Amino acid sequence: MKEKILDYLKKEQEYLSGDEIAARLGISRQGLWKHIQDLKDLGYDIVAVPHLGYRFLSSPDRLFAIEIAHGLNTKFIARKIHYFDYLVSTMDLAMQLGMQSAPHGTVVLAESQTKGRGRLGRSWFSPKYKGIYLSLILRPKILPSASPILTLLSAVSICETIKKVVGLDAQIKWPNDIFICNKKVAGILTEMNAEVDKVNFVVIGIGLNVNNDKKSLIAQATSLKEQAGQPVSRIILLQELLRRMESNYFLLEDKGAQAIIDKWRNFSLTLGRRVKIYCQDKHIEGHAVDIDRDGALLVRKDSGLMQKIFSGDVMHLR
């Protein structure tokens, strides 16, 4: 009902009499008043003027499911949203929900994380209301070995979203980091629950620095606000990201991995550069030539030997 009241008020942007709204929505004046109070408690700015009625002014800077779902128009992504003021980690909850049969496209959102997770057991700094911290549950019909394509797909979607909403050029550092002006703005963590020959579900975690102030960021990190010089609406950004994830997912289904990889190459910060890659206890140095359809990086070593690298930390050399 709150969603309906909000939809109604947002659509008109004028004073609407309480009697009219209540009648339209089939609730009592008293019931309406209670819902409006609840919305105000959530941070919605709604003015009430005697004899004129209610008028919607603004939404709070919160990623409420009703805000994200409003006008989203996706087919399966974010049709179900789990929203929290804080979580230990959106990944942990999403993995749990996946095991409890949460549908394809389910999204877990948190305004902050007390132990946000990154790749290989690292942490993701998740200050409250500053970023987008989301986990997306997908149920693709793929082999476990094909799962890296979903990390590439997510990276492409993030870059496209930043370009569209903020107008900035973001680039992808293989395998899973998004950079603007050589500073990290987002990270992706892809986890799966699988049989040896069948993925049960995949959870894609995205951490994106949006309105973090420069002083709260380490030197190697940045935020969209810092890069754009002004705050960015997290709601508009998240909605665009969810739409892009969905359209790229359909692209993957229709045209296959190569279509995603072609897009990925255009955003790559790594290809064509001299790189040093730390994997396990050793490192490999060479020229990053391409990625293959498994998402592995192909590096030509100085000996001329081509090496396929599935995992590692990349250092870009001059």
Q: Largest Cα–Cα distance in the chain?
A: 83
Note whether 63 and 234 are within 8 A (CB): yes
Q: From the CB of 270, what's the least distance to a second copy, in Å? A: 15
> Quick one: which of 143, 181, 315, 317 contacts a second copy (CB under 8 A)?
143
Q: From the CB of 192, what's the least distance to a second copy, in Å? A: 6
Number of residues that bind a second copy (CB under 8 A): 28
For residue 276, what are the contacts with CB-CB under 8 A and spacing of at least 6?
283, 284, 285, 314, 315, 317
What is the C-alpha separation between 136 and 158, in angstroms, rounded?
14
What is the C-alpha separation between 186 and 205, in angstroms, rounded?
10
What is the C-alpha separation between 310 and 149, in angstroms, rounded?
12
Under the binding rule (CB under 8 A), the answer on residue 120 touching a second copy is: yes
Closest among 167, 193, 74, 176 to 118, alpha carbons compared: 176
Report the residue number, 191 or 226, with the smaller CB distance to a second copy: 191
284 bridge partner residues: 277
Under the binding rule (CB under 8 A), the answer on residue 86 touching a second copy is: no
Under the binding rule (CB under 8 A), the answer on residue 154 touching a second copy is: no
Under the binding rule (CB under 8 A), the answer on residue 209 touching a second copy is: no
Under the binding rule (CB under 8 A), the answer on residue 297 touching a second copy is: no
Stretch that binds a second copy, among 186-194, 240-248, 258-266, 281-289 (CB under 8 A): 186-194
Note whether 72 and 246 are within 8 A (CB): no
- For residue 157, how many C-alpha atoms fall within 13 Å in the half-sphere facing its CB? 28
> Quick one: which of 29, 266, 311, 315 contacts a second copy (CB under 8 A)?
311
> Quick one: which of 129, 144, 184, 233 contacts a second copy (CB under 8 A)?
144
> Quick one: which of 142, 261, 295, 314 contacts a second copy (CB under 8 A)?
295
Under the binding rule (CB under 8 A), the answer on residue 119 touching a second copy is: yes
> Quick one: which of 59, 151, 157, 239 contacts a second copy (CB under 8 A)?
151
Under the binding rule (CB under 8 A), the answer on residue 114 touching a second copy is: no
Report the residue number, 286 or 312, with the smaller CB distance to a second copy: 312
Q: Which string of DSSP letters, residue by residue, matches 9-66?
A: HHHH-S-B-HHHHHHHHT--HHHHHHHHHHHHHTT-EEEEETTTEEEEEE--S---HH
Under the binding rule (CB under 8 A), the answer on residue 307 touching a second copy is: no
Under the binding rule (CB under 8 A), the answer on residue 190 touching a second copy is: yes
Which amino acid, residue 310?
A: F
Report the residue number, 99 or 306, with the smaller CB distance to a second copy: 99
Q: Determine how β-strand 198-209 pairs with β-strand 183-195.
A: antiparallel
Stretch that binds a second copy, among 19-27, 54-62, 143-151, 247-255 (CB under 8 A): 143-151
Report the residue number, 1 or 143, with the smaller CB distance to a second copy: 143
User: Can you give the binding site for a second copy, defined by CB under 8 A?
Assistant: 92, 95-96, 99, 119-120, 143-145, 147-148, 150-151, 175, 189-198, 200, 295, 310-311
